[in-house]
Amino acid sequence: MANLKEVRIRIESVKSTQQITKAMKMVAASKLRKAQVAILKLRPYAFKLKEVINNIIEDKKYLEAIEKSGSCLTKVREEKKILLVVIASNKGLCGAFNSNIIKATNNLIKDKYSKQADKTQGDLSLICIGKKVSDFYTKNEYNVVGTYDQLFDSLTFENIIPVAEKIMKSFANKEYDKVEIIYNEFKNAAKQVLTTEQFLPVIFDHTEILEKKGNKIPTDFIFEPNKERIINELIPRTLKIQFYKALLDSNASEQGARMTAMHIATDNATEMLKDLKLSYNKARQATITKEMLEIVSGAEALKG
């Protein structure tokens, strides 16, 4: 019977899909463990760097000394030219991970940088990391000044340094007045938080430090050779760490989103198999009953 054959084909197809999603879930779980370890190791270091810098510039004279020393990375300028660094993934099958990043970036442009986004002005530029966002913004004719999809192939601190330095140099040369990063911050396998973070100019803020330290008095450090020299060397390094942290967060979030999506897909396939098998058994039972009735009817006709 054609109906039974169609159901059997669907059952085999769903079983095949279930095996694929289960395998992808296991691969994503393995990658997630590595990515999670990497970001959790980096966070305390990044936090400590922020704490040291905030401790130094607690006295305003050191902030003034930084600006007088020629460091352009802390100078706030009129926001005429904007650079957005959008971080997503190279692959799909990770739920709404990529679409949420694109949606958040579009909303940011619409709400905050609509004037700069005017193509006649050309004051809004994008750097895309991740094939999904690179393809989207290139296709929609945004001013994409750089794509670095290959960073996720080998995500190491050494590999991201040239990109971070290029952005810092562009800001220092006044090519851009402000740089923001849009990415997913990793919380756990099931939760990723869309984050928009100012990269340049550098903002010094005690709030996060005080919150994590429970509003205690900042640690008293001993500085050698002096605070000015240390902070001028720490600012570029802190920015590189901040950039690396955003990429690690995004990478861990991607694997978590993919593992969750594949887990849901596997569960859905299991439920679908139950329904299909029930339909198959009902159809098979109906066919057997019909055949039995035909045999009985034939036998009765022969008796008559």
Digit-coded pLDDT (tens) for 144-193: 999 999 999 999 999 999 999 999 999 999 999 999 999 999 998 888 99
Contact 86/51 with Cβ under 8 angstroms? no
From first CA to last CA, the distance across the chain in angstroms is: 30
Contact 90/174 with Cβ under 8 angstroms? no
Using CA atoms, how far residue 184 sits from 21, 99, 146, in Å, is 23, 12, 20
Domain boundaries, the chain: 22-262
Digit-coded pLDDT (tens) for 101-132: 999 999 999 999 998 988 777 799 999 999 99
Whole-number Å distance between alpha carbons of 278 and 287? 14
Longest dimension (CA), the chain: 116
The burial class, CB within 10 Å (0-12 / 13-18 / 19+), for 109 is middle
Residue 199's nearest CA partner among 171, 233, 234, 230 is 171
Beta pairing partners, 128: 86, 147
Q: What is the mean pLDDT of the chain?
A: 86
230's enclosing H/E stretch is helix 227-303
Class of 22-262 per CATH?
Answer: alpha beta
Whole-model pTM? 0.84
Candidate list 32, 65, 94, 259, residue with the active-site label: 94
Active site residue 94: yes
Whole-number Å distance between alpha carbons of 164 and 161? 5
256's enclosing H/E stretch is helix 227-303
The burial class, CB within 10 Å (0-12 / 13-18 / 19+), for 79 is middle
Whole-number Å distance between alpha carbons of 83 and 117? 11
Digit-coded pLDDT (tens) for 5-58: 888 899 999 999 999 999 999 999 999 999 999 999 999 998 888 777 777 666
